[in-house]
Chains A and B, each alone.
Chain A
């Protein structure tokens, strides 16, 4: 059984199809990349999985259990976590608090306990703080721990967002263009983080990214979307050779682009 099963997803906005009969599966421990030209429906697909959009047809299942009827916050409890294309941090909070919010669904105490801040609430706060510190160490965020997230440099904010998603201890993490707007060095760092997340933390990754070099390097499997439907699925080398994919990206048979 696959970790995530996407079967026949169709999503339309007032008759305009954003996704048409999209199917793919992610196995536990995989890095799967979703690529395609702008407007191909990659982010729409992520939004369907994370619960912001509701597809018209098809099914999305984690461990064979459909999650379509669940609200977004329930899907988080199922082990789903994501980052956004445009940074969506809680700008007024410190980095530490951002990551602590990331653990929200793991924290099991209520309003009254929190107001008294005694016993269970205090113990849990310390316990979760310890886990958050692991993430902070892993992503090298310790210099920024107490700084307000909204005032940090762009690359760091991207990392904080990754940390927030990671703090939830997800089984599957959806990364929406984590390298967008980064320079070469930051891109390499981010690629390393993604590989480490996958290998050391054992998190399955669904990556949406435009940087073909990174995608072809780190992915186990690539799904190519074009105009809302799946153009090709397979290992990076296979996809690179695919005639349809080359045509979609370049509009012709020039093979120099994908093969770098």
Chain B
């Protein structure tokens, strides 16, 4: 948080700003203009961009819980699943339960349903977070792994809600009569949600609850001494994290438009979220964003590479495709060895370097 040379703050509010310089604000604007223009100019990879937005929300949610609060969760994939099914249920069967004014304010059942799906997921997350009072580290990991399997079982067998093995179709979301039935439209919706969630998580991390989370991670004994109610804050971390995961799930369901429980919301998804926050940087909101983008883009790049090489050497195309998983794992491992503090840390170092360039000190 060290500022540029010649940049002085005259109030705490100024110092606490998220984007402190016009330079930062300008490039952020450029980024968003680019993102908004992309689906208008190009057709390919729009679905992947939607999924990246969703992955960003889920990774940020996991980073609040695991990166900041230190409560490892191997059940985040299942929490996303809970949000997906709950969101769809509230759009279809549960819409009657929602109060009338919500439809008026939010222009239809979609937004209330996503929020209610998030709340249901938060309750589920809090329930599975209860063991965190007694269990730490690897033991908590196993407890949340149990949550993963229990929830997957429920997805498969609660057929009236989830459709069981055969899955179920999801209608396109509609807000104020505007139907989000194409991928470009879904891209704007998921982008808006991702920006909102990243903003909320950033605020959370820079104020009282976020600091309490990190204090629990760094030294839970002295956290209690400074007045942090350990159990309550751990539960809050589970609740916030699961809520965001639930929102990600609701968006996922409405982007994919078809839900099958397994392996979509399986242990593989949980692990990949964990990989995102480790690669991005534990405890940093921006890190989770970088990690989500990296993990989502890497397989696409490997595919492109395989295609490219296959163009020159057709006989190599199949073996390259076959080793894709291995290359993916290798890249992850190299990252952990050479960049253990994540992309967010590397980004800070790069910024620090250019701040002083061309001087050494």
Chain A residues with a Cβ under 8 A of chain B: 50-52, 71-73, 76-77, 81-82, 84, 88-94, 97, 100-102, 104-105, 107, 109-111, 114-117, 121-122, 124-126, 129-130, 146, 164, 168
In the complex where A72-B224, A88-B221, A109-B208 touch, is A97 in contact with B203 (Cβ < 8 A)?
A: no
Main DSSP-derived SS at the A contact region: helix
Of B179-187, B226-234, B290-298, which stretch is located at the interface? Answer: B226-234
Q: Is B211 an interface residue (CB 8 A)?
A: yes
Q: Cα distance A6–B236 when bound, in Å?
A: 35
CA distance A110 to B203 in the complex (A): 12
Known: A82-B225, A100-B211, A117-B207. 5 other contacts (CB 8 A): A73-B228, A73-B229, A121-B208, A126-B11, A164-B226
B205 to A, closest residue via Cβ: A114
| B contact face: mostly helix, strand, loop, or mixed | helix
A228 CB, nearest partner CB in chain B, Å: 23
User: A76 touching B12 by the CB < 8 A rule?
Assistant: no
Q: How large is the interface on B (under 10, 10 to 19, 20 to 34, 35 or more residues)?
A: 35 or more
Complex-state Cα separation, A146 to B2, whole angstroms: 7
Question: With contacts A72-B224, A76-B227, A168-B226 known, is A121 near B219, CB below 8 A?
Answer: no
A177–B99 CA distance with the chains assembled, in angstroms: 60
Sample (16) of A-B pairs whose CB atoms are under 8 Å apart: A52-B221, A73-B225, A76-B226, A88-B222, A90-B223, A92-B218, A93-B214, A104-B208, A105-B227, A114-B210, A115-B200, A115-B203, A115-B240, A117-B203, A126-B16, A164-B222
Q: Are A125 and B203 in contact (CB-based, < 8 A)?
A: no
Write the chain A residue with the least CB distance to B232. A73
In the complex, the answer to whether A90 meets B214 with C-beta atoms within 8 Å is yes
**Bound-complex Cα distance A126 to B204 (A):** 15
CB-CB < 8 A to A114: which residues of B? 203-204, 207-210
What residues of A have a CB within 8 angstroms of the CB of B226 in the complex? 76, 81, 101-102, 104-105, 164, 168
Return B250 CB to nearest CB of chain A, in Å. Answer: 18
Closest to A76 in B: B227
8 Å CB contact of A97 from B201, B211, B229, B236: B211
Contact B12 A73 (CB under 8 A): no
Q: Say yes or no: A50-B212 contact (C-beta < 8 A), given A117-B207, A129-B12.
A: no
- The residue in chain B whose Cβ has the minimal distance to the Cβ of A128 is B208
Residues of B within 8 A of A115 (CB): 200-201, 203-204, 240
Query: Of B207, B218, B225, which one neighbours A121 at CB under 8 angstroms?
Result: B207
Distance A72 CA – B221 CA, assembled complex (angstroms)? 9
In the assembled complex, the Cα of A106 lies from the Cα of B211 at a distance in Å of 14
Q: Which residues of A contact B224 (CB under 8 A)?
A: 51, 71-73
Q: A90-B219, A125-B12 are in contact. Are A101 and B228 (CB under 8 A)?
A: yes
Least CB distance from B219 to A in Å reads 5
Interface check B1, CB cutoff 8 A: yes
